[in-house]
């Protein structure tokens, strides 16, 4: 550990300066807090840290592991959340990890990286360590499989003379800070995978069920389904099912599938894990990513038809394809044993081509709801106008809606036109022109097609006629031949 720490010191210099100034500005608030640390917080805190007594060193240090068995250690959570609040002010790139049972954001530093926090004039050094452990698991057939899992620990150290301050004031202060901040509203996160890690950005997608344009009845059904799911902990337990739900969103591009995913996350107040299967090296890594995800999350795999080889399970061709993640690996991910290691999750697949998916993915019970996102209807148009211009009536609505009924226009295209001007009259005029033009183009195409078809029909008729004529000719010839032969015969007879 010591050599690791030394290595990382130099690389974190710029960051330390930022941290120090933040720490100084937080000082006043701290002194108000730490006097009110409840006794039970202090007691449970001491059970979660390991103190090291090194008689030869002039430093005091303690280690806080991320987990005790399967439960995440609260002191670790609090410390990491606190450190992340310091780090989030710096510009350095960090990886983000979130804890299982609450929404507190945690930024995990690179292993070995140090943070120095100055508290009441005392320097406290924090260092994060990561170790890889072998985890053994058994599948339903009793086969053993092994995988590597990361475990983290934080080391806190300071001069020996400040040991009491660290244990009696600094750590309890952090615990108290955490208890006070964790109930505040947090910003949702969008997690993206790169190989075996997740990184995140803030999710600021404004889509809600109010702004999604879709069939009102279908919208109500989805909202009811999600509400039932959210309150369903006991229900899922009573029926012996993992507390999760699967949705398949399908339809042409630009009909709002991604927007619906964001609306679902905003509705449930869940983070989104946007799983890119192309980044995953194999089924084992997929399991690893699954384990890293937290409860209360929406997992989305976009364009599932492009992500996984279609119908690859029985096909001999699958050997030549060699997919990184196989269909069976994905099915295990969706509802295999490993998927039950967490709860309160929504899994969403999106596709433009539902008919191309392997039936195994569509099987009843795997994806609980199949939701079709279609072309814009008049009622969807009204939702979009209201979103962008906050109006419910306009003299052009009737004309526009009549055209929308006749055309296959995506909500994305309508949105794009509505956004072209802040002036609703201008925007709707432009949209009307565009729709009229589209209608004209559609009519021209139709006419062209009809002409072609008519041409083909004429050709066919012509060919039929020609064939008939040829046949008639040959029949006549045959008859003539017959006549001839008769004559010949006659000749012979003669
Ligand atoms: N049903 C809808 N309701 C509201 N806005 C929509 C809808 N469909 C599309 N939009 C608008 O069009 C944009 C693109 O739509 P979105 O990305 O959600 O479509 P998609 O179906 O996921 O497309 P793709 O299949 O290409 O990923 C959105 O940002 C949104 O502004």
Q: Could you tell me which of 111, 108, 122 has the C-alpha nearest to residue 167?
A: 122
Tens digit of pLDDT per residue, the chain (494 long)?
333 333 332 222 222 222 333 333 344 344 434 444 556 656 666 666 777 766 777 888 888 887 766 666 888 888 887 877 665 444 333 444 444 443 333 444 555 567 888 888 889 988 888 776 666 666 666 666 666 666 778 889 999 999 888 988 888 888 887 877 665 556 788 999 987 788 888 888 889 998 999 999 999 999 999 988 888 878 888 887 888 899 999 999 999 999 999 999 999 989 999 999 888 888 888 888 888 888 889 999 999 887 765 444 444 444 444 557 888 888 887 777 666 666 789 999 999 999 888 888 888 777 899 999 999 999 999 999 999 999 999 999 999 999 999 999 999 999 999 999 999 999 999 999 999 999 999 899 888 888 888 888 778 888 888 887 777 766 666 555 554 444 444 333 33
> By alpha-carbon position, which residue is closest to atom 25 of ligand 1?
253
Enumerate residues 6+ apart whose C-beta is below 8 A from 94: 84, 87, 107, 108, 109, 110
| Per-residue confidence (pLDDT) for residue 287, from 0 to 100 | 85
Question: Which atom, in ligand 1's list, is nearest to the CA of 212?
Answer: 3
Residues touching ligand 1 (Cβ under 6 Å) are 211-214, 253-259, 352, 373, 411-412, 415
Compute the distance from residue 342 Cα to the ligand 1 centre, in Å.
Answer: 30
Phi-psi category of residue 422: left, alpha or beta, with phi > 0 → left and psi -120 to 50 → alpha = alpha
Q: How far apart are CA 192 and CA 200, in angstroms?
A: 6
> By alpha-carbon position, which residue is closest to atom 29 of ligand 1?
259
Q: Which of 248, 258, 301, 409 to mutate to test the pocket of ligand 1 (most atoms within 8 A of CB)?
A: 258
Concatenated DSSP letters of 285-328 = HHHHHHHHS-SSEEEEETTHHHHS-TTTTT-TTHHHH--SS-HH
| Per-residue confidence (pLDDT) for residue 305, from 0 to 100 | 81
Concatenated DSSP letters of 37-75 = --HHHHHHHHHT-EEE--TT-SEEEEEEESEETTEEPHH
Q: How far apart are CA 349 and CA 337, in angstroms?
A: 20
ipTM over 0.90: yes
Structure tokens at 490: 């006659």
Q: Which of 253, 254, 276 to mutate to test the pocket of ligand 1 (most atoms within 8 A of CB)?
A: 254
Structure tokens at 51: 């103190």
- pLDDT tens digits, residue range 53-105? 667 778 888 888 877 666 668 888 888 878 776 654 443 334 444 444 433 33
Phi-psi category of residue 303: left, alpha or beta, with phi > 0 → left and psi -120 to 50 → alpha = left
Compute the distance from residue 257 Cα to the ligand 1 centre, in Å.
Answer: 6
Q: Could you tell me which of 437, 377, 440, 382 has the C-alpha nearest to residue 251?
A: 377
> By alpha-carbon position, which residue is closest to atom 8 of ligand 1?
256
Q: Which of 257, 374, 412 to mutate to test the pocket of ligand 1 (most atoms within 8 A of CB)?
A: 412
| Per-residue confidence (pLDDT) for residue 396, from 0 to 100 | 96
CA atoms within 13 A on the CB side of 241: 17
Q: How far apart are CA 32 and CA 180, in angstroms?
A: 13
Question: Which atom, in ligand 1's list, is nearest to the CA of 214?
Answer: 1
Compute the distance from residue 199 Cα to the ligand 1 centre, in Å.
Answer: 24
Q: How far apart are CA 77 and CA 118, in angstroms?
A: 20
Structure tokens at 366: 């795997």
Q: How far apart are CA 101 and CA 214, in angstroms?
A: 33
Block residue for tokens 């022109």: 433
| Per-residue confidence (pLDDT) for residue 186, from 0 to 100 | 65
Q: How far apart are CA 178 and CA 106, in angstroms?
A: 12
Compute the distance from residue 212 Cα to the ligand 1 centre, in Å.
Answer: 9
Q: How far apart are CA 223 and CA 462, in angstroms?
A: 60
CA atoms within 13 A on the CB side of 285: 17
CB contact burial 380-409 (16+ within 10 A = b; e otherwise): bbbbbbebbbeeeeeeebeebbebbeeeeb
- pLDDT tens digits, residue range 308-349? 654 444 444 444 445 578 888 888 877 776 666 667 899 999
Compute the distance from residue 441 Cα to the ligand 1 centre, in Å.
Answer: 24
Planar angle of CA 133, 134, 139, nearest 5 degrees: 140
């Amino acid at each position: 550990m010591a050599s690791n720490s030394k290595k990382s010191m130099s690389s974190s210099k710029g960051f330390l300066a930022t941290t120090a100034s933040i720490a100084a500005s937080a000082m006043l608030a701290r002194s108000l807090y730490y006097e009110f640390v409840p006794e039970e917080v202090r007691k449970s805190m001491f059970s979660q840290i390991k103190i090291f007594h090194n008689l030869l060193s002039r430093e005091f240090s303690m280690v806080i592991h991320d987990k005790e068995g399967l439960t995440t250690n609260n002191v670790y959570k609090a410390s990491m959340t606190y450190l992340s609040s310091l780090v989030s002010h710096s510009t350095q790139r960090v990886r983000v990890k979130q804890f299982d049972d609450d929404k507190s954001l945690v930024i995990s530093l690179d292993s070995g990286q140090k943070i120095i926090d100055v508290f009441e004039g005392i320097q406290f050094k924090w260092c994060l360590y990561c170790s890889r452990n072998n985890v053994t698991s058994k599948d339903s057939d009793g086969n053993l499989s092994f995988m590597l899992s990361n475990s983290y620990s934080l080391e806190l150290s300071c001069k020996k003379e400040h040991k009491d301050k660290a244990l009696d004031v600094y750590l309890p202060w952090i615990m108290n800070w955490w208890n006070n901040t964790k109930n505040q509203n947090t910003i949702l996160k969008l997690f993206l995978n790169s190989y075996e890690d997740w990184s995140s950005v803030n999710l600021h997608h404004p889509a809600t069920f109010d702004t999604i344009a879709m069939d009102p009845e279908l919208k109500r059904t989805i909202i009811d389904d999600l509400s039932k799911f959210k309150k369903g902990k006991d229900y899922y337990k009573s029926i012996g099912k993992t507390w999760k739900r699967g949705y398949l969103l399908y339809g042409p591009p630009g009909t709002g599938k991604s927007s619906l995913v964001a609306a679902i996350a905003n509705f449930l107040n869940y983070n989104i894990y946007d799983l890119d299967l192309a980044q995953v090296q194999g089924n084992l890594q997929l399991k690893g990513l699954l384990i890293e995800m937290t409860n209360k999350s929406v997992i989305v795999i976009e364009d599932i038809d492009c992500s996984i080889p279609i119908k690859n399970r029985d096909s001999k061709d699958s050997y030549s394809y060699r997919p990184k993640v196989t269909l069976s690996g994905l099915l295990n991910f969706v509802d295999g044993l490993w998927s039950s290691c967490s709860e309160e999750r929504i899994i969403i697949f999106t596709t433009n081509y539902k008919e191309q998916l392997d039936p195994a993915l569509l099987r009843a019970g795997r994806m609980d709801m199949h939701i079709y996102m279609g072309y814009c209807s008049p009622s969807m148009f009204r939702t979009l106008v209201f979103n962008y211009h906050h109006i419910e009536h306009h003299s052009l609505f009737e004309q526009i809606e009549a055209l929308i009924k006749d055309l296959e226009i995506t909500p994305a295209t309508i949105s794009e036109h509505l956004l072209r001007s802040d002036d609703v009259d201008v925007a709707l005029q432009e949209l009307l022109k565009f729709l009229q033009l589209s209608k004209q183009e559609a009519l021209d195409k139709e006419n062209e097609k009809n002409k072609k078809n008519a041409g083909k029909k004429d050709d066919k008729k012509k060919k039929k006629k020609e064939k008939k004529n040829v046949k008639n000719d040959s029949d006549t010839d045959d008859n003539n031949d017959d006549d001839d032969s008769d004559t010949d015969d006659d000749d012979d007879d003669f």
